[in-house]
A and B are shown apart, each in its own frame.
Chain A
Amino acid sequence: GQSLEQPSEVTAVEGAIVQINCTYQTSGFYGLSWYQQHDGGAPTFLSYNALDGLEETGRFSSFLSRSDSYGYLLLQELQMKDSASYFCAVRDRGAGANNLFFGTGTRLTVIP
């Protein structure tokens, strides 16, 4: 089976940096994805890491350590519009190669 752990809530100040951690356990790991979901909206893809290291896309970066079964999403220069839920998801070999198993999400609140 699979399990993912991420904090349920995080609050940060506009303009600051916030890191959302994700630890996982899977039977066959392909990679770690991050999705953003605003209230009432659909999840949107942010990033994917299959190899160790940092991937940067604008203000967002994602990191993976396969040996530690750990990853994080880093959001810089926070804006009010970044208030949303952020889900990490593992692509797992165990339940079908293209199955994405999602964590329960971290609700980020950006305050002025």
Chain B
Amino acid sequence: DSGVTQTPKHLITATGQRVTLRCSPRSGDLSVYWYQQSLDQGLQFLIQYYNGEERAKGNILERFSAQQFPDLHSELNLSSLELGDSALYFCASSPRTTQETQYFGPGTRLLVL
């Protein structure tokens, strides 16, 4: 158990819909990262927040957005969903001083039908 929590564990929805994925980082971690992992693919970095502010952006689609709240939990919003958005979405957090070590949550498996 990494200490990072993600909800929901599974999500099934239809094309065109909007969903919100939630992540709580480990206690004391200020950085939150979001990743997308498609079937048999590596992890694609989407976005990073540090203490409420966006710090780095990866290959995140315009239909996707994220935010980090004052209590440091983060939400990833996916809108106008397409079949290709079906994937595992991981959240990770890292300690204050060591960014190279990231602790991953259990992931949210999204299925778009």
Residues of A within 8 A of B (CB): 30-31, 33, 41-45, 48, 50, 87, 89, 91, 95-105
Mark each residue of chain B from 20 to 35: 1 if its CB lies under 8 Å from any CB of chain A, else 0: 0000000000010101
Residues of A close to B101: CB separation below 8 A: 33, 45, 48
Name A97's contact: one of B35, B56, B106 (CB within 8 Å).
B56
Residues of A close to B99: CB separation below 8 A: 91, 97-98
**Cross-chain contact B48 with A44 (CB below 8 angstroms):** no
- Secondary structure dominating the interface of B: strand
Residues of B close to A102: CB separation below 8 A: 35, 42-45
B57 within 8 A of A: yes
Residues of A close to B80: CB separation below 8 A: none
18 contacts between A and B (CB under 8 A): A31-B100, A41-B106, A42-B105, A45-B101, A45-B103, A91-B99, A91-B100, A96-B48, A96-B55, A96-B57, A98-B50, A98-B55, A99-B48, A99-B58, A100-B43, A101-B45, A102-B43, A103-B42
**Cross-chain contact A50 with B100 (CB below 8 angstroms):** yes
Mark each residue of chain B from 44 to 86: 1 if its CB lies under 8 Å from any CB of chain A, else 0: 1100101000011110000000000000000000000000000
Residues of B close to A31: CB separation below 8 A: 100
Look across to chain A and name the residue whose beta carbon is closest to the beta carbon of B57.
Answer: A96
Residues of B close to A98: CB separation below 8 A: 31, 33, 48, 50, 55-56, 94, 99
Look across to chain B and name the residue whose beta carbon is closest to the beta carbon of A50.
Answer: B100
Look across to chain A and name the residue whose beta carbon is closest to the beta carbon of B6.
Answer: A42
Residues of B close to A41: CB separation below 8 A: 106
Q: What is the minimal beta-carbon distance from B41 to any residue of chain A, in angstroms? A: 6
Residues of A close to B90: CB separation below 8 A: 42-43
